[in-house]
Amino acid sequence: MKIENLTLPKTAALAPMAGVADRAFREICKEFGACYLVGEMASSKGIVYKSDKSAQLLETGPEEHPVAVQLFGDEPETMAQAARFALQYHPDVIDLNMGCPAPKIAGNGGGSALMKNPLLASRIIEAVSQAVELPVTVKFRKGWDEDHCNAVEFARMAQESGAAAITIHGRTRQQMYAPPVDLDCIAQVKAAVSIPVIGNGDVTDLESAIRMYEYTGCDLIMVGRGALGAPWLFTQLRDYFLTGKITPEPSLEEKMAVMVRHISLACAYKGEYIALREAREHVAWYMKGFRGAAEFRRMAGQMSSLEDLKAIAAQVLAQNQEN
């Protein structure tokens, strides 16, 4: 698959997830085989008004490429200014968020609210495409609600406005992250445009990844929540789609080592105080399905140092050793 001059293997990409897909998690997913990464969405207004917090969301590391930074907003010139600002962080792609369902984003005219205003969305895509020489991509949804499913028309508009590729999440804004993703919608979008289409939603294992590819004909799949606490999913998908190999899950010891390495990276980038508090959700995801998981999650909520995390990992191993 090609996004202009960027060539990607037909394996799996990491989806942008606010508050989750930070640099540490992206690097871990890259190590495990994610072919392409998209960072956390950053406010275009925050960037233009010189918010350090917004700018920090654009930071990428040398190990991450190919990587996109993602912007949200509802003002064409502000989005264009933010895109130009983002170039200093050396992304490979500028991605525009037109699918976020969060009330604080959509309620202010950004994210999925733009699906109700395709003319404004078109102006944004055109403005950003003209502002930067990098490929500009767009991520959006099936529609605002079941009465307004305009993904096919929106996809055509994005292509005509200058998008180099699109990512379609097969749910409406009203549906948020349930019920099951609409694969028919993704297939219809793929058939409607000539630019690459990335399918997103409910890819949680090899079976669902194969189904997404085969049913929709999409050019690439994007994994979001399915990778939480399980970044090795990217290895399984890469190995299968490139070689046909079925790769087993890591051992319990390997999983705990990944968890500790992941959070250690976060501490290196953010400091222990911030990283360990943000890591509590990640630790809970890594614990899913383990004996004593509820108690380990409680312990994670109280950890204040990396040594606390390592102690939790040791207890997980002690209580869940495979025979």
Q: List residues with catalytic annotation.
A: 100
Strand partners, 169: 141, 200
Strand partners, 198: 167, 220
On whether the CB atoms of residues 232 and 250 are closer than 8 A, the answer is yes
303 phi and psi, to 5 degrees? Answer: -70, 145
Amino acid letter, 268 = A
Contacts of 151 (CB under 8 A, 6+ apart): 140, 141, 142, 143, 168, 185, 188, 189
234 phi and psi, to 5 degrees? Answer: -65, -35
DSSP 37-86: EEEEEEEHHHHHTT-HHHHHTT---TTS-SEEEEEE-S-HHHHHHHHHHH
Amino acid letter, 58 = L
Amino acid letter, 70 = Q
